[in-house]
Amino acid sequence: MFAGAVIVWELASLTGLLSRTSFPSAWEIATKFVELIQSSYLWIAVGQTFAGWAMGVGVGAVLAIAVGTLLGRSRFAYASGIPVVEFLKTVPTIAILPLVIVVLGPTMQMKVFLVAWGIFWALTIQVIYGVRAVDPVVRDNARILQLRGWRLFTTVTLPSAAPYVATGMRVAAAVGMILAVIAEMIGGAAGLGLNILVSVNAGPTELPSMYVYILMTGLVGIAVTALFTVLERRMLHWHESQRNLREVGA
């Protein structure tokens, strides 16, 4: 299908159905792709985007797991905190971008904050659901065995919440990459998003570069999603959902 789409693009460009000023030929884009992947300029941009994404997802995940666990285990904390979480979850991340730019400027810190903020709320909800999904029988048995604190968390709470957290992390990883590119395009932080914007502003001669950078954002996003899918399967190989997937695949 991809090869067919490339052929159609090339023919449409050569016959004039697509304006060459807006849609370079597939051959021009492929040539520019080969040129850029051999230069450090492209890979520096990929590294800058990936670094902002990784740090943002890491910070957001750690905070979400901590807050979600607290709200999930305490009825008082849940009653007090869930309205705030539900409200802030509905605020579009892009809406706070101007404020973040004013405070932090077009920096890596701005990108990290935006990614962390964007994934934190939905992931917190996932963690809460996972913590509250502990089987009552298992919880009662843990109390009989006098499990407390960290031991209770690692042997009872964490296995129950793990599938919810893993699913939330897979979704958060994809969302985080989108937010990282948005932070670069609108906020001016260095990375693939900024390179896309610079290529557009440079004029028609740099449009092939723009398409290459767009293609790279897609490839990086696919790689990130695939990585988290593999990690989810490896870490939850014991869980019923993964056993069912293996049985269906067999």
Name the residue ranges covered by the structural domains of the chain.
30-234
Question: Domain 30-234, what fold?
Answer: MetI-like fold (1.10.3720)
pLDDT digits (tens, 9 = 90+) for 74-116: 889 989 999 999 999 999 999 999 999 999 999 999 999 999 9
| pTM, rounded to two decimals | 0.84
Q: H/E/C letters for each residue in 86-132?
A: HHHHCCCHHHHHHHHHHHHCCCHHHHHHHHHHHHHHHHHHHHHHHHH
Measured distance CA(192)–CA(43) in Å, rounded: 9
DSSP 21: T
Q: CA separation (Å) from 65 to 42, 94, 137, 138, 232?
A: 34, 23, 24, 21, 16
- Among 72-76, 144-148, 188-192, 209-213, where is mean pLDDT lowest? 144-148
Residue type, 70: L
